[in-house]
Amino acid sequence: MDNTEAIRLEETRRLIRWIKQNPNEWLNVVRLLRDGDDILAKEAKSAIRIIKESGFYQLLVVMAYMDCYIVKEAVEKAILDNIADSWNEKTIDYMVNRIIENIA
């Protein structure tokens, strides 16, 4: 087993252990993933804080693509804020090149 696969396996085990030890927190995360736009902002914030505190950042990427307006809007704003905070000549060229590369 290569190093990447070993890391994936350990992260999966860690997630399973965390779910067993924190069933209520896991239900909050699942509710956000499942219910999308039916969830309240307060519940969404709580679920995202749980993800941050547990260190399962992969789930934040999943949330960027889910059908939940308040989360999509928050992710988009965070990304744009991050770009604006680090904007310089190199990032402008990098962003333009990435946009061109990503056009299908």
Q: Which ranges in the chain belong to alpha helices (H)? A: 3-21, 23-35, 41-54, 58-64, 69-85, 89-102
> Position of tokens 């990098």?
94
Output the average pLDDT for the chain. Answer: 86
How many Å apart are CA 17 and CA 12, to the nearest integer? 9
Tens-place pLDDT, residues 29-51: 888 888 877 888 888 899 889 98
Is a pLDDT exceeding 90 seen at residue 26? yes
The whole-model pTM stands at: 0.70
Is a pLDDT exceeding 80 seen at residue 89? no
| Reported confidence tier of residue 53, pLDDT bands at 50, 70, 90 | very high
Residue 52 in tokens: 């941050």
Confidence (pLDDT) at 43: 87
